[in-house]
Amino acid sequence: MSDASTALGVRLYPDLVERGGLAPALIETATRHQLDLGRVTAPEQGRARFTCAEVHSDQGVVCVGLGSQARYFMVDLRVDGEVQARGDAMDLLQVAQMAAAWRAGMTLAELTTRFAFMEEMKHRTAPVVQVG
């Protein structure tokens, strides 16, 4: 069994095993559908090199991981290291379309409206303590 098939699980992700991991499969999907993802990276070592991908843009990073018990793609949209939106998608094409839209300048509000699987994270501000 190859390293990719061991890391990914042939039963859930045979297409990703065939392409050598999540990042190459995401790049191939984007290319096939003429989507511009820009720079896509994966960790260099360990299991994560097959199971994680990051799409980098001026707006932030789209981090993609894999479900382990069922086939789905977990997506975090991070700006300055903080998760701004999160979601799960069943189709890698949806992930590629969302990442390309974000890279092209779509706002968080537009993104979560257009891609129903994404949900904007509500950040709580610290309560103001009044002394007096």
Q: What confidence tens digit (pLDDT) does each residue in 35-82 have?
A: 999 999 998 888 888 889 999 999 999 999 998 888 899 999 999 989
| Residue 64 buriedness (CB in 10 A; 0-12 / 13-18 / 19+) | buried
- pTM value is 0.85
Assign 2 a pLDDT band (cuts: 50, 70, 90). low
What contacts 130, CB < 8 A, 6 or more positions away? none
**CA pseudo-torsion sign 43, 25, 88, 10:** negative
